[in-house]
Structure 1
Amino acid sequence: MPSVKKNFKVEINYEYCKKCGLCYWICPTKTIIAGEYGKPEVPDHAKCIGCLQCEKICPDFAINVIEDGEK
């Protein structure tokens, strides 16, 4: 059986986010990057490997990584 890559979507709740930068600092694939004024942005969800490091390190519970079907 061939391995199937799962898709993930990184949701950022900007009402909770204080732009601390921990999420894009810890992201191993640079799915989350620093946008204008340090605001985290996700230009390409396909890069996410679902490691959940950003979700775990966020002190404000502003990040939710969800599985988004299969590729």
Structure 2
Amino acid sequence: MATTENGRVTRGTLVIDADRCKGCELCIAACPPSVLEMSTDVNEMGYRYPLLHDGCTGCTACQMVCPDYVFDVYRLKAPRA
């Protein structure tokens, strides 16, 4: 886990393949911590794509609903005491 500069705890992160996205926005609704939002920019195909903000939990909800396989989800390991 890591704490971001705004104080949110981040337990995971995503790699988003923006060029593959077709802008369906299913990931936005599926994200429990609400850390995804659609960009105002468009990809090479002309679709808006999701952007990630701090606070990802690595829950994989976005990855599970994405019909275009846009997300690679990684969980961060908690530091050992």
Pairwise TM-score range, normalised by the shorter structure: 0.7 to 0.9
- Residue of structure 1 in register with 2:45 after alignment: none
More helix by share: 1
More strand by share: 2
Larger-Rg structure: 2
3-state SS of paired residue (1:15): helix
Change (3 A) 1:17 1:7: same
**Structure 1, gaps ≥5 residues long:** none
1:1-71 to 2 correspondences below 5 Å: 7-36=11-40, 38-44=48-54, 47-70=55-78
CA RMSD of aligned residues (A): 2.0
**Structure 2, gaps ≥5 residues long:** 1-8, 42-47
Residue identity opposite 2:32 in structure 1: P
Write the deviation string for residues 15-48 of structure 1: whole angstroms up to 9, x where unpaired: 211111011111011111122154210121xx11
Q: How many residues align?
A: 65
TM-score, scaled to structure 2: 0.67
